Each structure stands twice: as C-alpha cells, then as structure tokens.
Structure 1
Amino acid sequence: MLIGSMKEIVRHPVKSFYGESVQKTKIMEYGLYGDRSHAYLDETSKGNFFTITQFPEMVRYKARFIGEESIEKYPKVEVMTPGGEIVDWDDEELIHELEKKSNRKISTKKYLPSHVPICPIAEEPIQLVTDASLEGLEEIWKGQVDSRRFRPNLLIALKDKVPFIEETWFGRRIKIGRDVEIQLKRHCKRCMIITVNPENAERDPSLHKTVISERNNNMGVYASVIKTGEIHVGDEVHLL
C-alpha cells in the first residue's frame, strides 16, 4: 500500500553534531551509511559519549562527508563551526575549542564503514518521523516544530495526513524505493535533547513537557533494517 514518499534523509557523520541532509544514501545493516560513525568521548566521565546532553552547543557544529563514499574507507569529515570556520572533525584546534567551552577532556572515536555498532544511537538503528506527526505536535504544543530537534534519519511525507499513524505499524515493514525494507519496532522515548534549538542551542523545556504530558514522552519510531540498498529523496514509501 502506497503511504507516501521520502521527504528528507538525514545522517549524522559526527554523533550529536548538526545532521547532514542528503539526496541519497546507502542503507547498511547498521542503518544509514556513516550515521554516528564518528564520535567524541568524554574522558572526564569514564569515556562515555560526549553529546548534546553534556554540551548543548554541539547542535551548532555542522558535519558532513566530503568525497567518494566506499565500504573500505570513509570520505573526509568536514565540520563548520558556529563561527563559520571549516575544519576536519579531529582537528586539534576544534577539539581544544570543544574542551574549553564544555570544560571537559575529549578524545575521538571512529567506526568502520562496514560496521557501526547500534549502541551509539539505540537498540534499532533507524529513527523516522512523518510530516503529519510533526504537524500534529505543532497543534498540541501551539508552536512551530523543527524536525531537527528530534534528529530523525527519515522524514516521510504521508499521502493521508494522519498524525502519529506510524505508531500503529509496529511489527510491519515499509519499503522505500526499489529495494530497501525496514521494520517498525517501537516508540522513540524522548530526552532533554529536544529542548535544544538546533539553530542557536537555546533551550525551551516546554516542548519536552508537552511531549511527556500529551504523548507519554513518545515522538517518532525506531526501525530495524530488513533489506539493504540505496534510497533517494522522493522515493515512494509502501506499507507492506
């Protein structure tokens, strides 16, 4: 059954940095190619991941892949800082800037293109939301909702605009384009990250309070990969 089309595809080459909107990408067994493949570790906190939770301004650093993508080697990861500088993700001055601003000691972590462990994001590797659900949340919250607050990988434009209908599809598969199939698994429980404005890193706790009180803290769904392949913006999306 045709349910809509792929409106936006977003991957995060560096965990907790501003996501990269792409026209096409490969869906690997672990999710989108290179998604959360590069990360910073907080050495002041037993080497846990350094994220927006510790340092909200991370959302203002924009990371993207530059060059040819392959299974053998990642392309260069380029970062634009809030000040407009373009540097490599592991540039010493960038790391020093992050350490100084956050008052933490930071190290780097990189995974292989063929395997990014699911643990950096969740039990399932892909998160999706629909345009209808974002519009439904805007009605509840009484304000404009930026999808980037929720850091989804896939934004689906539904043919029939029924808010939160994807939450009724758990256990079912959706097909994207010619080859890719994913299975919807469970709700995405939300944390303080959605309070952070992706443009200026300012926090507004009212959105999270609304999601907690009106949606049982659920927004978006997680999915696992059934069939790998390539997807494109504009691809048809079918519920199987």
Structure 2
Amino acid sequence: MTSIGTVSELWRYPVKSMLGERSETLRMAERGVDGDRLFAVRDTEGKLGSGKNTRRFRKIEGLFRLQASYHHQVPHIRLPSGEVVAGDSPDIHQMLSEVLGLPVVLAREEVISHLDAGPVHLITSASLAWLSSALPTAHIDARRFRPNLVIDVPGADLVEQTWLGKRLRVGKEVELEVYAATERCGMVAFQQSELPQEPEVLRHIAQQVDLRFGVYAQVVVPGIVHLHDTVTLKG
C-alpha cells in the first residue's frame, strides 16, 4: 500500500441540502456516513428538497440559509433568524414551511434514498488547489462541494480521478472503493455562510472537466474515520 495523504476535514449533513457540521470522527457503514443526509425536507408531492430538479428531488431556494447538526441523534436546525429548533419539535414543519415559502415537512429516510449518487463523497486538497490556480479571484472552499472527506495530498491536479476502480484504506479500520466521478450541479456556485455566489466555479468545471469534480466511494470495510488519519492507496 502507498501512503497518499491525510484526512484534513470530515463533514456530515444531517439534513439533505442544508449546511452541515464538521466532525472529529465519522462512523462509516454500508449506507455511508452514519447520519449523513438521513433527514430531508419533503414537499407535498413527496419530492426531497435539493439544489436541483430530478425525478426524486425538487429545487428549493433557501436551504443553504439553514444549518443542521446532531444533538443525541436528533437534527437541530439553525434558522436564518439564529433560532435553533429541534427536528422532533411539533413546530418544525410549520417553521420550515414559513422560512422556505412552501408547505414542507422534515422527513427521515425511508424507502427513497436521500443520497444523490453515492454513499461517501470525497475530494482532495490537490483538486481545490487546481481550481484555485485557475480561478485566483474566486472563493474556493471545500464547503462548496459538500464532501464527507477532504484528503490533503500534494500537488494541484485532479488526483482523485486517478483512483477510480481502486481502494483506499483510511486510518486503521475503514476501506473504501472509489467507483465514480462526482457530477457537479449549480449548488457549487451558491452562496453559503460567508462564501459568495460564484457562477464561474461551475462554469470552469463544466468547460474543463465536463462537470466531474471529486469522487464517490462505497464502504468495503466499515469502521470509524478520524481527523488526520493516514490515507493509503491499495495496489
């Protein structure tokens, strides 16, 4: 096995398409990261709130104004006003409907998966450096791409694309198989927190790499990933 880098950031998103929470550890199983996108905003037609429109998803403006984090396995959502409401509060559905401007409920995953296309999403510092070098005035930040893992590796290129079909060992327990490039959508350009709207980010990725930025992986060996874990590439 070849050491290729270290885990520099860990993220999970309790509610799909809302801002998430940084973590020191993440537990991974077959579904992916424990608790990741386990909840979603659902409209009256049963579609899940997202940054895009598909058969399963509905683009709902304003989701990035909300931030979700877990407290004893219950998602707590910070509203634009600064108020925090628990996901099991009897008022949660009405409050979210008022903020988002349409009738919705906060729903736990059942039959329809809340995940876009893969259990675990990862990007590298090298990909972020590649994008920063091409767009020096843009605010390039891992948060734009909503990864579960950010892996710190040397260089400034799309190195994770070379891992397709290969396996990674993360720390002492977890083994991932990288199987698909991540196809980006308009969410990477959205304003979130202090990051401004940056349409040139999506434009550049579309023009230069056909919207492929980051990769999806499936969990082959479950376990716990820690911040600063060593990442090795299996032959």
Q: TM-score, normalised by structure 1?
A: 0.87
Question: How much has 1:94 moved relative to structure 2?
Answer: 4.3
Q: 1:208 aligns with which of 184, 202, 212?
A: 202
Map 1:19-168 to 2 at 5 A: 19-43=20-44, 46-53=45-52, 54-67=59-72, 75-111=73-109, 119-142=113-136, 143-158=138-153, 160-168=154-162
Aligned position for 1:190: 184
Q: Per the alignment, in what secondary structure is the counterpart of residue 155 of structure 2?
A: coil
* Aligned CA-pair RMSD: 1.9
What is the aligned residue count? Answer: 226
What SS class does the counterpart of residue 165 from structure 2 fall into? Answer: coil
Q: 1:58 and 1:153 mapped to 2: Cα distance?
A: 19
Task: Look up the equivalent residue of 2:98 and give its one-letter code.
Answer: K
1:90 Cα deviation after fit: 4.5
- The answer as to whether partners of 2:92 and 2:106 remain within 8 angstroms in 1 is no
Q: What amino acid is the match of 1:104?
A: L
Q: Provide the rounded CA distance (Å) in 1 between the counterparts of 2:112 and 2:195.
A: 26
Determine if contact 2:174/2:223 at 8 Å carries over to the other structure: yes
* Correspondence for 1:70: none
Q: Displacement, 1:175?
A: 0.3
2 CA distance for matches of 1:106 and 1:3? 44
Call closer, same or farther: CA 1:184–1:217 in 2, change over 3 Å: same
Q: Note if contact 2:170-2:232 (Cα within 8 Å) is conserved in structure 1.
A: yes
Distance 1:234 1:117, change over 3 A: farther
Cα gap change, 1:117 to 1:156, in 2 (>3 Å): farther
Measured at CA, do residues 11 and 235 of structure 1 come closer, stay the same or move farther in structure 2, by a change above 3 Å? same
2:96 touches 2:105 (CA, 8 Å); kept in 1?
no
Matches of 2:105 and 2:39 in 1, distance apart?
Answer: 11
Checking the alignment, whether the CA contact within 8 Å between 1:57 and 1:200 is kept in structure 2 is no
Deviations 1:104-160 (A, max 9, x none): 22123213xxxx7783223321110001101111112232312111111110011x3
- Unmatched runs of 5 consecutive residues or more in structure 1: 68-74
Provide the identity percentage.
Answer: 28
Separation (CA, whole Å) in 1 of partners of 2:172 and 2:87: 34
**Matches of 2:61 and 2:129 in 1, distance apart?**
25
Aligned to 1:71: none
Q: Is the 8 A contact 1:30 1:117 kept in 2?
A: no
Match of 1:234 among 198, 223, 228: 228
